[in-house]
């Protein structure tokens, strides 16, 4: 039996976004993706209790990205999510994650595009986030026009009590 070439280009899948999920419907897929997507070395992932508490808050929104089902009787496979919280005229991107096997297919771009669009439609004037200072996702945020507006020294506590700085980024809408 021939092995698939892991370096061969793969066709981009069709994604579909699910919004307006109740906390009990979102928690399973969100936690499944989060456990895959965040390396414990950096201490960025949330635990189940933190995630459930945030999802239950009225101004928290979650977008779930899944592979579009190929037939009407199949369910889509969750591959990413974005969680935001709106306060007055600002939106905070709390978490965005894509399962490692689905990176480099535009999943994070799809999610972030929708977060920006939802924020604009809601009259939000500024979208902001915090991220580990050495996180390669900075390239995605830069493409969207996010600017660095702050630094929090030692914000993330990772494995072995190692601390990592957090960058605060903002995008004026």
- Coil, strand or helix: which one is 139? helix
pLDDT of residue 34: 94
Tokens of 126: 């500024």
* Res 103 pLDDT > 80: yes
pLDDT of residue 89: 92
* Res 41 pLDDT > 60: yes
Tokens of 50: 């933190």
* Res 8 pLDDT > 70: no
Tokens of 24: 């009990």
Model confidence, pTM: 0.86
- CA angle, corner 113, sides to 112 and 118, nearest 5? 95
pLDDT of residue 2: 45
CB 13 within 8 A of CB 105: yes
Strand pairing category for 126-132 and 147-157: unpaired
Q: How confident is the model at residue 1 (pLDDT cuts 50, 70, 90)?
A: very low
Minimum mean pLDDT range among 15-24, 71-80, 116-125, 163-172: 71-80
Mean pLDDT of 151-165: 88
C-alpha count within 13 angstroms, C-beta hemisphere, residue 32 = 12
């Amino acid at each position: 039996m021939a092995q698939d070439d892991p370096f061969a280009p793969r066709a981009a899948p069709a994604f579909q976004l699910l919004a307006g999920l109740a906390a009990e419907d979102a928690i399973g897929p969100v936690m499944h993706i989060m456990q895959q997507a965040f390396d414990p070395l950096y201490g960025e992932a949330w635990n189940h209790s933190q995630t459930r508490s945030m999802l239950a808050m009225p101004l928290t929104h979650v977008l779930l990205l899944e592979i579009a089902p190929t037939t009407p009787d199949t369910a889509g496979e969750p591959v990413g999510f974005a969680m935001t919280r709106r306060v007055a005229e600002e939106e905070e991107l709390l978490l965005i994650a894509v399962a490692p096997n689905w990176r480099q297919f535009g999943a994070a771009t799809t999610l972030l595009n929708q977060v920006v669009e939802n924020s604009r439609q809601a009259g939000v004037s500024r979208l902001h986030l915090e991220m580990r200072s050495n996180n390669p996702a900075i390239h995605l945020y830069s493409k969207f026009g996010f600017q660095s507006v702050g630094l929090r020294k030692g914000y993330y506590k990772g494995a072995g009590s190692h601390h990592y700085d957090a960058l605060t980024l903002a995008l004026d809408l």
